[in-house]
Each structure stands twice: as C-alpha cells, then as structure tokens.
Structure 1
Amino acid sequence: MEADEVPRFEAWVRERGAAMLRFGYLVTRDQGRAEEAVQDALVAAYPRWARICRQGDPEAYVRRSIVNADISRWRRFLRHRETPIEDGAEKPTPDHAAGLAEQDAVWALCATLPTRQRAAVVLRYYEGLPDAAIAEILGCTAGTVRSQIHRALATLRTRLSVAEEVEA
C-alpha cells in the first residue's frame, strides 16, 4: 500500500468506529466494557496506523486489538477483585415479551463463554465472516476458529439442555 493510499486515522475511525463499537459490545456484552476496549485498541493503533495499513486489513487488526484489550482488562479485574459469595437467590427476568426474554436468555448463555469463543461466534453468526477472516482478526488459524466455534456451540447446547431440564 502506498503512502497516498493509507487512510487517515481520523477518517477511518469516523467511518468504521460505530461498527467497531458494535463488535466490541457483542464481544463484551457490556456497553462500558465495549467502549473501553475500543478506546484502548484505537489508542494503541494510532501511533502505528501507517504500518498497520501497510501490513494489510486495518479493520482486522483493530478487531483483534479490541478482543485482546477486553481480555487484558478482564484479567486485571480478576486479579484485583474479591470473590463474592452467591446468595442463592435468582434474579427475576423481565417479562416484556417472549421474544425479548428468549433473546436475552441466548445472550446470557453467550456471555458465559470465554471471550475468544464468544468473539468467534459473534464474528461468524452476527458479522457473517468466513473462517479465514475470523482467524486473521483473532490471530490464530482457521482450524482454531472452527474448534473455538465448535466448543462454544457444544457448551451452549449443554447449558441450554440443562436449563430446559431445570424448567421442566
């Protein structure tokens, strides 16, 4: 990529920033965490922007950075937090509509997945990306992507069947 072809960082963020924030939200399942992960990724990318663009797809680089930023933040959080004791009381689910409740239950199940598995599932089923593109974003091989998605879906199936048994 020639120097003339490198998109200006500010213009790229204006054009793709909302999509990166949506991606961050789907990976983190929390608006605040998503904003922090995207901000961390963009702050890290800014000084290296020309090199990132010359190396290939800047969007894949930023997405991978978002996932890594959230994982790093989560690890720091786990190191410095107290472990709460469960009180055994279940939180009531809102009864707005059956569709919203089902969608919320699916996202709650997805939120229990490890970040990399959740990112792979989001990129495949929400973003509709092929294995090769997901692998580039997550910094792994296409086989690892398929493995991550397979494990995530197996985990979701198991947890869903357990939840259905509990309801019955």
Structure 2
Amino acid sequence: MEPYKIQIIESIIAWSIFLISKLTLRYFVKLKILNSYFKNTEKNDILKLLNLLLVVIFVVIIVVIWSVKQENVLVVTSSLLTVFGVALFAEMSILSNITACLILFFQHPIKVGDTIAVTHEGKEIQGELTDITYFFVFIKTLNKGTLTIPNALLLKSSFLVIEKPLK
C-alpha cells in the first residue's frame, strides 16, 4: 500500500478540485440565469456540457497521476486537443454549434424573448427569439413561421436587438 500513497493523495486532491470546480460552475450558471431570461432547460443543458468537459479533464488528470507513461498521455492529449480545437471552430461543424451555444449563453447580449433582426446573405429576417438549443436558435418570424438558424451561423451574422417600446 505504501508505494501508492502519493497517488491516492493526489487522486483525492484532484477529486476535491473537480467537485469545487463543478460547484463553482453551477453557481455561475445559476447566477447567469438569474440575471437573464434564459429558461431552466437551457441551464441544465449548459451544466451537462460543462460537466462533460470537467469529467474529461478529471479523467486525464487521474490517468497521469496513476503513472501511465507521461509521454503517451501528452501525445494523446495534445492530439485530441488539436482535433477538438479544429472541430470547435470549424465552419458548420456540430462542435462549432455547441461552442457557439456556450458563447451565446455566457457572453452575448441576446436572450430568449428578444425581438431581433438577423441579416444573412443580404436579407433581413425579423422575429422573436423563442429558444436557444445546443445546435440552433429558433426565431418566430412576423409571418408566424419559425426560422431555425445554426448557432455558429448566428454568431457570424450581423443582427440587431430591437428594443421594445416602454409602456
């Protein structure tokens, strides 16, 4: 048992950091929900995505702690990060839409219920933003149709948030 004492202590520390990170992220996401008009389902989706990312990081750290050859772990990790990096920001990939969902959630000034006018390929489309999912935003247009736009495409397009008149 003695030779594994350091690995056990390091694993406990890694687990503690994982739990603290998870609770901290949950707090900040709940705070973001309170300060915006996002729905509870969006909060749960974002939390699932962030938890998945934390679990992947935790597994990599545990593998390193338990003496898998560091050269092998570094090669695999750097290769995966490169592939994910390209996939996260490649045009119209699934992962780029998920990344765009996170950006829309945390950093963008639009929220569910806003009336927006999106300009894409020279055409302006106006409507109410009704939902933001992992892959698409849904806009109820003036003619009562629903337009779906991939999240990554919305981030690349220019749009205007139309202020509602004060009552």
Length-normalised TM-score, structure 1? 0.30
> Which of these two proteins has the greater Rg computed from alpha carbons?
2
Length-normalised TM-score, structure 2? 0.30
Structure with the larger RCO, 1 or 2 (CA within 8 Å, 6+ apart): 1
- Return the structure number with greater strand share: 2
